[in-house]
Structure 1
Amino acid sequence: MKGWRDGVMGRVLVFAYPLRWRFVGAGLLAAGTEAAGLGLMAAATWLLATAAGQPPLIALSVAIVLVRALAIGRGVLRYVERLASHDAVLRMVTEVRARIFAALVDRPPARRADALSRMVSDVDAVQDLVIRVLLPMAAAGLVAVAAVGTALFADPAVAGVLLAGLLITGVALPLLAARLARHGSARLAPLRAAYAVDTVDLVHGAADLAAFGARPAYEARGRAHADELARVERALARRSFAVDAAATALGGVTAMAVLATALSRGLPGVWLAVLAVATIAAGELALSLLAAARKGAEIQGSLHRVAELLDVPETAVADGLPVPDGSVHLRLRGAGVRYRTDAAPALHDVDLDLPPGRRIAVVGPSGAGKSTLLALLTGAISPDSGSATSLPVATAPSRVGVTAPPGAGTPITAFDRERWPAAVTGLLADAHLFHASVRDNLLLARPGATDEDLLAACRTAGLGDWVDAHGLDVRVGEDGAELSGGQRQRLALARAVLADPQVLLLDEPTEGLDPAQADAVLADVLAHRAGRSVVLVTHRLTGLDAFDEVVVLDGGRVKERGTQGWVRAHGG
């Protein structure tokens, strides 16, 4: 039987455990705020009803002080509760963002805009889970129990009617609201992510889209996603309105039922007013529970997307990626990837065997499918056809052409941390440099690295002389704007070398360098990776003699493949 931590909610809330007493305090403050509001309505009603009989002022003094205290206390409690709850949840969200960032550094998604959506809007769902779902539910539940308990002192029958009304409006209706919202809300997170991708494509790719005449098509796709997103949100709004209206009506019905029961039980007139108004105030709690249940359903998709990235081992955040032991064996069999149903596949029927220590170079023209192949190997995307498997090394074949035992492979799916090897990464085409120092950019790969480790990685990537001259603390600018193209590429390569993954993936690592320097840098990287797996994507055929196999891609298909002799025969 799975523990609570194995579910989506558990994998998210495990980050709240170290802050549990802060959240308990925030929950008690929230309950105190709601109780103060309910008590204020009851005390004010009693004061007004009693004052109508013109009793001595001394008989009203306690109620007057209580009303003032509750009115002031409600505002103070609300303010302190917001401070406490937001302090705790922001501490929690900081840790969640750090863990997700470590996951994205280790295995970036296929589209940068999707990473942005996960880091921003999806992580905001974790904040909503605590602030707008769990805390309001806990506070409303505590106050509802206290209200029913207090009603018992007036009359058990009245308490029973109040309990029934609160169960309907505070339990049954929220469950109905969540059920109605779940169907449409499951599409909200993917639609928002798709819309973010469309926006980034249109903004950052404006020049390329205009040059190829593709801007109208991308704008139409963006409008379609925006329209679909608006349609889903309108449907959710209509359902919310209907359920809120039902809750308001049921609150009024409950108040009338409580009043009728109190009349039949012969309670004094003052208590009739207090019970009726307090019941209406208690019914307001049901609306907060409705909002919490609805929000909980709406963020389920985002929470799933966050949970997919929260299985990164803690060492990835604390100490960087684990030191590899060369024990990863990846295999593609007839793998195909199709981004759009109305377009040709980006990859079609690709076979690739990557046992521990094997070096494979992938060459081909632009648009051949090389970057898609790397995305498949990183786990950023899953094959639409064929299979991608991670073979246990104990049963993996030691050479190409040997069939693995049945069942030896484990299917790999996108962001499946339990199945996908933890350290398959490298220098990809969209490697990002942050507006920080060289040191900070390198430490993303291994936070515990020493200066000697950083300098060694820079020397391996051909950046040693520049770092010796400028130091590790020089800032590189936004996305490496203060560096030349070659320096930027070598700094990203140094970060990949420092990460030292079990399988190193390199996408044009020497782009922007002159041929002699490019060959020297590649040779140094391969020497550093002795005995470990490397996949290199490149346009060049020179410097490939050290690779065990060269795969030629064209139009998403493998056109040729060969070894060192093939390279020499083709002018490498």
Structure 2
Amino acid sequence: MTRRMGVRLVWAVLAGAAADLAGLGLVAAAAWLITRAAEQPPLAALSVAIVATRAFATSKGVFRYAERLTGHDVALRAQAGTRERLYDALVAPQQPRHGGADLLSRMVDDTEAVQDLLVRCLLPAVAAAMAGLAAVVIGLTILPVAALVLLAGLVVAGVLLPAGAAAAARRWSARLAPARAALAGRVADLVHGSADLAAYGADGEALARAREADEALAALERRQARVHAAALAGGILAQVLTVVAVVLLAQAGGAGSVGTAVLALTSLVAFEPVLPLAAAGERLAGVTAALRRLREVRAAVPAVAEPAAPAPRPDGPLTIEVDNLVVSHPPATTTAAGQEQGALDGAPQNGQQGHHRRQQQRRVVLDGVSLRLTPGRRVAVVGPSGAGKSTLLAALMRLVEPESGAVRVNGVDIRALAGDDVRALMTGLTQDPYIFRASVRDNLRLAGPEADDETLHRAVRDARLEEWVERTGWDAELGEDGRTVSGGQLQRLALARALLYDPPVLLLDEPAEALDEETADRLTADLLDVTRGRTTLLVTHRLKGLERVDEVIVLEEGRVVQRGHHDELVSVPGYYRDLWESEALTRR
């Protein structure tokens, strides 16, 4: 929290306390004025009370408005700051830990906990404490023994009941947030997988699981509501008993009609800011759990380690050297929620048994891969699924951490560069491109915000998507995650975005995937024309047109098993020639 926000928070606390004190003063002054006026004293004897009553009535509204305005301003700013830090944590490459629905629940529901912490917990507690103290002071001036009874009642309603409510709610709060996330996950499955569920007749089972998650959440919320009702009832009971005791003591102690009225009404009003503290204590338990869940996201182990002092980004023509690169998938563990995650995210395992288990689960994806990309050189990487082709591109874009070996740009290890600088030099079409719920134009301008219409048209034309875009319209809104476009259109739109970004080293992961054979061949040919003279690394399953690249590298099980020009590889036995002959038979 910044110093400016801290000052605003102090003002909000003071304004809230002043509003409650004004309300207390209003009731005390009004009670004295009414009972004293019944004795028919001279009007001059009532003038001060009359002015005080008006002042307290006016100031209460003014202070309450100031408290609401300042308090909510601070709370909303704090919530925005929390979300901004959460965005930063999510944008940075991380080891997979949370599902999308769970992250959405944390982003929407849990970030509101920051606002509740200030508005529903901190401000009411401070205001109630100051108002209760003022009521006790008023009681001490009239009848000390009644003030002690009032203090005891306020302690019960403002300290013991909120503490009990918080302890009871803490039991349920730790289960409520995961239950909400589980329900959000079930709903997300129903929405995004509705077509597949209907196709395989699994929609009934999916709906049943969603109902089970909903019923589990509803049961927890009912139990929480019982805690809230019990705490509220206990506070009201404490208020009633305290006021009755104070009145009886005032009558027995000879406080008089004026003193008795002031003590009774002051005691009654003193509980108004105190009674909500039970709900605040209950909410505090939920806030604590929500903040803990947010810290889990921000504390997630990053997929790559950013350097403390990044080296300058290399300039000029770039030479990329991959030297004996080894990348392993982390061993999978299971969280309490049943989600798989890397061992780096789980609890550490000690001893020889834990070490053996990690070694046993460890799977090498790239094993000693080396290649060299000089300026303008085009290299194709082929191999069966799971050979490590996409992992190689991820390592080049600094999205995964190599176990050993190095990737150098003009002799500088990319681990010494900021991740954003690496991706500014080497990026392109990823394995799972995402299409945003926005227009075609806006989806493209994600890669080139300042691109003019001519540049956009050229990128679309190079991706062989011009006809579809002209027919659909540049301003047509695409569905979430590209649900309103075909797989081939999604792939070509993402390719156009990569071409529009125009990085110094273009990385393309299966650009012809999800396309029919004829379109894929034309697109590959166009890509090879467009990338002539520029540094390109192409990952593909298709061999058509690869005679035009400078080098072909064949990966199998993470190792380079063949490399050379297309004409050389088709002449020697191996995966490449087998695939080439298979494609030739298919084309006949």
The alignment's TM-score, normalised by the length of structure 1, stands at: 0.67
Counterparts of 2:131 and 2:121, CA distance in 1: 16
Rg comparison, structure with higher value: 2
Deviations 1:314-347 (A, max 9, x none): xxxxxxx999999997533654779998xxxxxx
Q: 1:177, 1:240 within 8 Å by CA — same for their partners in 2?
A: yes
- Cα separation, 2, equivalents of 1:295 and 1:170: 14
2:31 to 45, 48, 51: 45
Structure 1 residues 198 and 369: CA distance shift in structure 2, 3 A: farther
% identical equivalent positions: 36
Matched, 1:477 2:484: no
User: Which residue of structure 2 lines up, in the alignment, with residue 294 of structure 1?
Assistant: 282
- Alignment-derived partner of residue 142 in structure 1: 130
SS at match of 1:331: strand
Q: d(CA) in 2 for partners of 1:200 and 1:216?
A: 15
How far 1:184 moved relative to its partner?
Answer: 0.8
Asked if the contact 2:463/2:523 (under 8 Å) is kept, the reply is no
Query: In the TM superposition, what is the alpha-carbon distance from 1:123 to its structure 2 partner?
Result: 2.2
Aligned: 1:435 with 2:438: yes
Shift of residue 175, structure 1, vs aligned partner: 1.3
SS at structure 2 position matched to 1:186: helix
Q: Paired residue for 2:121, among 126, 133, 137?
A: 133
Q: Which residue of 1 aligns with 2:412?
A: none
Task: Kindly indicate whether the alpha-carbon contact (under 8 Å) linking 2:28 and 2:265 is maintained by their aligned counterparts in 1.
Answer: yes
Aligned to 1:98: 84
Pairing 1:22-421 to 2, within 5 Å after superposition: 22-107=8-93, 111-260=99-248, 262=250, 266-310=254-298, 331-332=328-329, 335=332, 351-353=363-365, 364=385, 396-398=403-405
CA distance in 1, matches of 2:189, 2:8: 42
Work out the CA distance in 1 between the residues paired with 2:197 and 2:388.
Answer: 19
Unpaired stretches in structure 1, ≥5 consecutive residues: 1-13, 314-320, 342-347, 381-388, 400-419, 553-559
Cα displacement (A) at 1:250: 1.8
Match of 1:398, SS state, is: strand
In the alignment, residue 405 of structure 2 is paired with which amino acid? S
Q: Distance in 2 between matches of 1:433 and 1:259?
A: 67
Does structure 1 retain, via aligned residues, the 8 Å contact 2:16–2:67? yes
TM-score, normalised by the number of residues in structure 2: 0.65
Write the distance in 2 (CA, Å) between the matches of 1:212 and 1:481: 19
Task: Determine the C-alpha separation between the residues in 2 that align with 1:422 and 1:271.
Answer: 75
Give the aligned length: 494
Q: Is the 8 A contact 2:440 2:478 kept in 1?
A: no
Contact 2:146–2:246 under 8 Å retained in 1 = yes
Q: For residues 268 and 450 of structure 2, what CA distance do their matches in structure 1 show?
A: 64
Query: What is the deviation of 1:215?
Result: 0.4
Cα deviation for residue 298 of structure 1 reads 1.9
- Residues 79-134 of structure 1, C-alpha deviation per residue, up to 9 Å, x if partnerless? 33323322333333333333333433445876443343233222223222222222
| Counterpart Cα distance in 2 of 1:262 and 1:361 | 93
For residues 497 and 311 of structure 2, the distance between their equivalents in structure 1, rounded to whole angstroms, comes to 14
Q: CA deviation at 1:66?
A: 3.1
Q: Please provide the CA RMSD for this pair.
A: 5.5
SS of alignment partner, residue 276 of structure 2: helix
Aligned to 1:571: 579
Distance in 2 between residues matched to 1:288 and 1:507, nearest whole Å:
60
- Tell me if structure 1 keeps the 8 A contact 2:167–2:285: yes
Q: Which moved more, 1:202-211 or 1:136-145?
A: 136-145
C-alpha deviations, 1:9-65, integer Å up to 9, x for none?
xxxxx4x65522222222222222222222222222222222332333333333334
Counterpart residue identity of residue 298, structure 1: G
| CA drift at 1:266 | 4.4
Task: Please give the alpha-carbon distance, in whole angstroms, between the structure 1 residues aligned to 2:553 and 2:134.
Answer: 73
CA contact (8 A) 1:508 1:539 kept: no
How far off is 1:240 after superposition? 1.4
User: Counterpart of 1:383?
Assistant: none
Is residue 192–residue 229 contact of structure 1 (8 Å, CA) maintained in 2? yes
CA distance in 1, matches of 2:390, 2:203: 23
State whether residues 388 and 555 of structure 2, in contact with CA within 8 Å, keep that contact through their aligned partners in structure 1.
no
Following superposition, the deviation at residue 186 of structure 1 comes to 1.3
Structure 2 stretches of 5 or more lacking a match?
A: 303-309, 315-319, 339-359, 372-380, 407-418, 564-568, 581-588
